[in-house]
Structure 1
Amino acid sequence: MKLSVVIPCLNEEAFIGECIRSVQNALGTNSEVEIVVVDAGSSDQTTVIAESFGVHVVNHPRSTIAAQRNAGVRVSSGEVIAFLDADCTVAEGWVQNGLELFRNPEVLGGGCPPSVPSQDTTWVQRGWSFLKRKRRPGRMSVRWIPSANVWVRRWVFEQIGGFNEHLETCEDVDLGFKVSDLGPMISDPSLCVYHHREPRTLLEFFRKELWHGKNSFSGISSGRWTWSELPSLIAPIYFLLGLGWIIISGVLLACDQATLSDLVLAIVFFLALPFAYTLRAVATKGNVHQFFQYILIYIVYFSARSVSMISSVIASIRE
């Protein structure tokens, strides 16, 4: 079974070398593996570094990352396509474990959400990685897998039309739903990869989630969502209500038209959602000593997704 690893990139000179090297180190005795790097017009040494590893480099300038991935598939020849982000490195056994998973003809898609490296990480990176982690880690059927590390059979990819090139974000959700509508998509922790550019600060985290939520409304409105995405739907309304309540209570308190207890109640309402999600996380996975850090991360997450959702709704109305 031949495997094609497609790596989209843009100005990734700091990461592309280690990314390719990690894949080549994970090949083992598997000779039927090709690596295709699709560059979107880098102005640094990304393509020079990639070519030095003897891999196939394709230029596809001024395009979405979804279009880059599709371009990589078009020049590849593998029966199975593995999409890998340029700022990731794969764990030992990644290739062998992935091919073993796809020896089951019923499996149409697979992969695993990326993890953070064990060293040189901040509390924000460790905290969000913990909060995203499944309660029962292990092989399981899922609706979608992040495109930083997702595998798909070629015939399935071609049948569904590949990635939606009109989406700047959430293209992996769109792809995953189409694949899992046809058959099993398996999340397998033995296909682990490490993402080396997770947000290190709360501000970086806010910006990333703001960007990730850009196309969330289009996914929800088209029915491509699961109950796990429910926060992305209710957070804008909830946070606006909570923030509005706090502002109104503060103004009324300053005018002697409300009491301090009114303001406190508004703050409690505002914090209830991140508190509930944090409580569920520590109750099922532990790490109670990080409770308040997790609340802060969730506040930033819901705030960013709220702004993204509102922006998406406004953009949809204008169209």
Structure 2
Amino acid sequence: MSTEILVSFVIPHKGRFDMLKQTLESIALLDYPLNQLEIIVVSQTPEIANETLLSNPEIKLTVLTQISSESISASRNIGVKKAKGNYLAFLDADIALSANWLTQMHAHLKKDNRIIVSAMQVCAENAPPLEKIRTHLSNADIDCNLNFLPGRNLFMTRASFEKIGGFPEHLITCEDYYFTDQAAKLGNLYYTSDASYIHIGEDKFYDEMFKKEIWRGQSNLQSIKGRKIPLREIPSFIIPLGILVCLILSLISILFQAYNNALVFIILGMLPVVAYSLRLYALAKSSVSFSSVLTFYTYYFPARAIGTIAGLFKAIGANHK
């Protein structure tokens, strides 16, 4: 007699097999009846094989192939169509869950009109400064309801997913902002410290982070459409662009030997960098140096601005086709 599937894990994937395997193995180590779980990997890497991914045969594993041009949202939505569970767990393909993750997600989802719950991020052993910075940013507010939850680990009912209408397939990035914003109209988004995860693929080097932030920023403006933007989110759109403009104006001033003007623009551009760095340094409680935090924002803001501008030109080009 077959056991009913209660929870379906939906994982979009592209490359990085070792991280995907670690993700799946962390699911296999959950303190939960494994025969009530299924894993659906929607991969943009066609040569992937089921038998190489998961050593525990107790969990049903399905691998679907997705074309590389489709968005992460499309992969998640396809996975849900295949899923049989009454509950859906959305993970990125580089997440290692704590053993109590699923039991805690079930417990917390039942409380206080919650529609999505998520666990807090923790660092891996010997984490470099950049990973610690990213983790502190993820945990700025914890054990409370939030306006947004990152898409790395989300737990919800299938019924709630259907009410929301699925992930926004028109967005290349920022799809979790849009999806959880729509979910917040139906209930609370809760971020708990009672369970945790390690982001195996977390940024560890500043040059790699710079490239990723350009990519992540390309759907910034598109993600605004169709949702109400809270006041506290507006600076995240304005400040990166303002810093980039100040940097460009300072370089132009230097070219024209207007050094006083260049100094003014440099100071104006650095003010928000320093302000954000002081805030994060206080949040990190000295677990990372101030110079590391300052370096992070010096890379982060220009990269976000470049990505936003690139996304704007892509959107304009797409509209003229």
TM-score interval, smaller chain = 0.7 to 0.9
Name which of 149, 156, 159 aligns with 1:155. Answer: 159
Unaligned runs of 5+ in 1: none
Distance of aligned partners of 1:20 and 1:194 in 2 relative to their CA distance in 1, 3 Å threshold: same
Equivalent residue runs for 1:176-255 within 5 Å = 176-253=180-257
Unaligned runs of 5+ in 2: none
* Contact 1:11–1:46 under 8 Å retained in 2: no
* Contact 1:236–1:310 under 8 Å retained in 2: no
Equivalent residue runs for 1:117-132 within 5 Å = 117-119=124-126, 121-132=127-138
Distance of aligned partners of 1:49 and 1:227 in 2 relative to their CA distance in 1, 3 Å threshold: farther
User: How many pairs were matched up?
Assistant: 310
Corresponding residue for residue 304 of structure 1: 303
Q: Higher strand fraction: Structure 1 or Structure 2?
A: 2
**Distance across 1 between alignment mates of 2:33 and 2:24:** 17
Identity of aligned residues (%): 25
Corresponding residue for residue 274 of structure 2: 275
Report whether the alignment pairs 1:61 with 2:66: yes
Name which of 50, 53, 70 aligns with 2:53. Answer: 50
Corresponding residue for residue 294 of structure 1: 293
* Contact 1:107–1:185 under 8 Å retained in 2: yes
Equivalent residue runs for 1:55-134 within 5 Å = 55-62=60-67, 63-104=70-111, 106-112=113-119, 114-119=121-126, 121-134=127-140
Question: Residue 30 of structure 1: CA displacement?
Answer: 6.6
**Distance across 1 between alignment mates of 2:239 and 2:281:** 21
Distance of aligned partners of 1:228 and 1:163 in 2 relative to their CA distance in 1, 3 Å threshold: same
- CA distances 1:21-59 after superposition (whole Å, capped 9, x unpaired): 21121133575322222223333x553323654332132
**Distance across 2 between alignment mates of 1:141 and 1:131:** 16
TM-score by length of 1: 0.88
Q: Residue type matched to 1:7 in 2?
A: I
Name which of 154, 157, 169 aligns with 2:173. Answer: 169
Q: Residue type matched to 1:272 in 2?
A: L
* Contact 1:13–1:49 under 8 Å retained in 2: no
Q: Where does structure 1 differ by over 6 angstroms across 4 or more consecutive aligned residues? A: none
Distance of aligned partners of 1:282 and 1:123 in 2 relative to their CA distance in 1, 3 Å threshold: closer
Name the Cα RMSD after superposition.
2.4
**Distance across 1 between alignment mates of 2:28 and 2:291:** 41
Q: Residue type matched to 2:44 in 1?
A: A
Question: Residue 268 of structure 1: CA displacement?
Answer: 1.4
TM-score by length of 2: 0.87
